[in-house]
Chain A
Amino acid sequence: MNRNLIAIQNTNPKLVIALELAIFMAFLVAVNWLVPASITFRTIIIPVRVPFLLMFVWMSLKWRRLGWENLGLQPPENWLNTILKGVGLGIALQVLTISVTGPIIRQITGARQDLSLFLNMADGNFLALLGWLAVSWLVAAFGEEIVYRGYLMNRFGDLNDLKPYGWLLGLFATTLLFGSVHAYQGINGVFLAGITGLAHGIIYWVMRRNLWVCIICHGTTNTLGFILVYILLQCCPGMVGS
């Protein structure tokens, strides 16, 4: 039986999926605008919201009598191979961002990535770096990958009967959303995050929906990024900021 039809007795399954996606994406967009709008609690908005998003994903899976493994979180056959792939891709993606996509986007937009949210790492605040690394692995790597790649891409696929164009639509939508959620990093950050999101979506697809590779890749990219920002803040703080 089609997994979309399970537990849906009277309603049009596609309408339910479309509504589910609309509610979920409306919440993501709301969070996206709340970060730059908020003065008082902008740093905690995203970490606080991720559990709500994960709860929604969990409920969506429960309705369909599915589990986290259906999003690609099943234990891989070879952990070492998965970790090596994730770390390798993460390093490659960060190198590509620093040496190719970053300079090109900076040239086009004429703006630098706004990293002012992370300025608490200045003056050698190593604890702040550790805090951001923890947030980066828990919220960004696990949370965002489950939400964007695991849930949204699959749900867009479901909406289009798992046909290739459905996945492409999902890839396109998650790229746009992932980019726009990073609006607090300025226009440069939006484009860079969009490209990173696109790369993660392609990795998820190429790795046959193995979310672990995406999680490790995302975590590695962010770890390298945070370490780089930390070093830059100590030696040449003028290079970090809007």
Chain B
Amino acid sequence: MNPRFLLTFSLILLFLGMILPFMMVIRVIDSSFFLNFFASGASTLGLMLGMVGLAWWTKEPD
């Protein structure tokens, strides 16, 4: 694994964390406990992996 992969993965998770609740609000998909929990977890994990990825990337040796 490398920091670029981690950053890409975190951005995908954050995108999921944004798009799923948005689709629930505009009623494209029904809001459910599982989807809420999944969207919430995706955005939180995305933020944390983004933090780690960014720190790793900026410290990466030549």
Contact = CB atoms under 8 A, between A and B. Distances in A.
Main secondary structure of the interface of B (DSSP, over half): helix
Given A10-B62, A27-B14, A39-B31, A34 B55 contact: no
B55 A59 contact: yes
Given A16-B58, A37-B39, A23 B21 contact: no
A22 B48 CA distance: 13
A92 interface: no
Contacts of A20: 54
Nearest to A22: B11
Interface string A1-26: 00000011111000010011011101
A7 B43 contact: no
Interface string A47-64: 001001101100100010
Given A30-B39, A52-B44, A59-B51, A36 B62 contact: no
B45 to A, nearest CB: 10
B18 to A, nearest CB: 5
Contacts of B31: 37-39
A11 B57 contact: yes
A202 interface: no
6 contacts: A10-B62, A26-B17, A37-B20, A45-B40, A52-B48, A63-B55
Interface of B: 7, 10-11, 14-15, 17-18, 20-22, 24-25, 31, 33, 36, 39-40, 42-44, 46-48, 50-51, 54-55, 57-62
Given A9-B59, A34-B17, A36-B25, 20 more contacts: A7-B59, A10-B58, A10-B61, A11-B60, A23-B14, A23-B46, A27-B14, A30-B21, A31-B43, A33-B18, A34-B39, A34-B43, A36-B21, A37-B22, A37-B31, A38-B31, A40-B33, A52-B48, A55-B51, A56-B47
